[in-house]
Structure 1
């Protein structure tokens, strides 16, 4: 798969084309994601208070945390995008399906969006959209309701991932994947479970992903600086638990191919703990960490 690239720090799916640039472009409305994100938020805000119950809140907490841990953090980010560990294909499919039902988009969109931003931030400069430079409200509208159309974009090659029939199916039907979830929740607890287990969960995941991403490129602690990168990352310590370790974003910029993101004492990383559990069970192997990746010459320690 494209994630199994020989360079553990590579941007795996992106291909630099002649004259491609991350700077020039325009931000345009993305109707599909905008209506989806807006509809989920409206459902949560309008119907959430009318259907709240201890059971519904418990469903929200369990499904949100479980989907972010298994799907978004381990399935999408650490396995599919970075290939930081290997596992059986059936397990990868399960984890990526869970990542899809987080509700942000399909696997191909997630890979391209991540890799474009990753590549752009490593350049000396990039568009404000890719750097989260604009004020928080503008950035919120841009990231959750718009897309960037670069004047000279790079190319993409998803490799085996792009040819996988299951992933192609998920990409076409990512919104519809909420239907079986909603049906099961309705049978368990009625409309309250549906509103809190689908609308509130998806909305919290989308907004939380944007908000932590915004902060992680604006302010916060740093251990490392990446030489030549126009955008440096920061850690967001308070978000380590709800993001399952993804909020140690400065560590991730320093060692993007590592399955472990919380690298230092006191840095909670449940995604890493789950991968360790898989490894113990014989379901994960070739697990990469900074110790196994070798020295990265572009890193310098950040000043306190």
Structure 2
């Protein structure tokens, strides 16, 4: 089952000029061992901090400052990913004025989930082959038995990132490679990672005028925050393609997982997203929390975002699964244009 997305998801196979080659966006089509080791460190160290956070909070407590740093930088990076990397850069759900576009690229980079161009290329490929052969991170990769699904969930959650083969960036994200500012931000991923990890420590240290405040700011606002955001984001790849309600017809197994909605900033309403990939709103029912859509609405009202692809009620209904499990006749989800 192949879930085709909009024209951005199937970007033409263009070969950028030498000065805009994929290597210029940090990383080519094969992942080097040093990249894999670095990736492992960025996964393991924050995860160990997340595990240690529970006994530390129980024994020593957590200050309001540290909690505030965790929450602020979590949602800054999360919305940078969901609004910026995902809805804007990958799917073109809205157009952004240049300052907002740059701000979203930087905020998404501070989530420490990889360079902009690589992230977008991987996600466009995911939509082109969703839950079919060619999908970079489908939990159904190994089959449908319980052992196969357990193995597949691990692959979809973390394992796929260590695959040596990389998505061709010039094929799936030529538009970003051609944009000097976006290409530069993608190449500066290490810088934005340092800023993301360093700011909570700097703020904590200055606010308390102590090294201990800097350490706890770094522990909660950097390490614990990054680990939590990583696993929530990866859960969209794994959990939301294995379980959840499927009220809309899509060509894959994407599902809505309500208990991830707040932490994922609305991304866990994943079934509608795969049924209508260019929609700026994923939580389309009145009770479905989607903070990313709310922020896009505010950006639109401020004049920072325009040509927003808000789904109409008729468009939403045309993608619903009929009571008998089949899509309404003549209302099968259209491939986004």
> Same fold per TM (> 0.5)?
yes
Provide closer, same or farther for how the CA distance between residues 225 and 160 of structure 1 changes in structure 2, counting only shifts above 3 A.
closer
C-alpha distance after superposition, 1:240-276 (max 9, x if no partner): 1111111110110111001111111211111111111
Computing the radius of gyration from Cα coordinates, the structure with the larger value is 2
Q: What is the CA–CA distance in structure 2 between the aligned matches of 1:76 and 1:152, rounded to whole Å?
A: 16
Which residue is 1:36 aligned to? Answer: 42
Q: Any gaps of 5 or more consecutive residues in structure 2?
A: 15-30, 141-147, 205-213, 326-337
Note the C-alpha offset of 1:95.
0.9
Q: Any gaps of 5 or more consecutive residues in structure 1?
A: 1-6, 18-26
Q: What is the CA–CA distance in structure 1 between the aligned matches of 2:305 and 2:195, rounded to whole Å?
A: 28
Which residue is 1:113 aligned to? Answer: 122
* Count of equivalent residues: 282
Q: How does 1:191-210 map to 2 (within 5 A)?
A: 191-210=215-234
After superposing the two structures, state which structure 1 stretch, 181-190 or 135-144, moved more.
Answer: 135-144
C-alpha distance after superposition, 1:85-119 (max 9, x if no partner): 11111211101110010111110111111111111
Q: What is the CA–CA distance in structure 2 between the aligned matches of 1:264 and 1:65, rounded to whole Å?
A: 22
Higher share of residues assigned strand: 1
Instruction: Please report the RMSD computed on the Cα atoms of aligned residues, expressed in angstroms.
Output: 3.4
Paired residues of 2:70 and 2:221 also in contact (CA < 8 A)? yes
C-alpha distance after superposition, 1:16-69 (max 9, x if no partner): 79xxxxxxxxx9984342232123323444588388622212211221123212
Q: TM-score, normalised by structure 1?
A: 0.79
Which residue is 1:130 aligned to? Answer: 137
Point out which structure has higher relative CO (alpha carbons under 8 A, 6+ apart): 1
Matched, 1:12 2:33: no
Provide closer, same or farther for how the CA distance between residues 94 and 42 of structure 1 changes in structure 2, counting only shifts above 3 A.
same
Paired residues of 2:283 and 2:290 also in contact (CA < 8 A)? yes
User: Which of residues 283, 286, 294 in structure 2 aligns to 1:262?
Assistant: 283
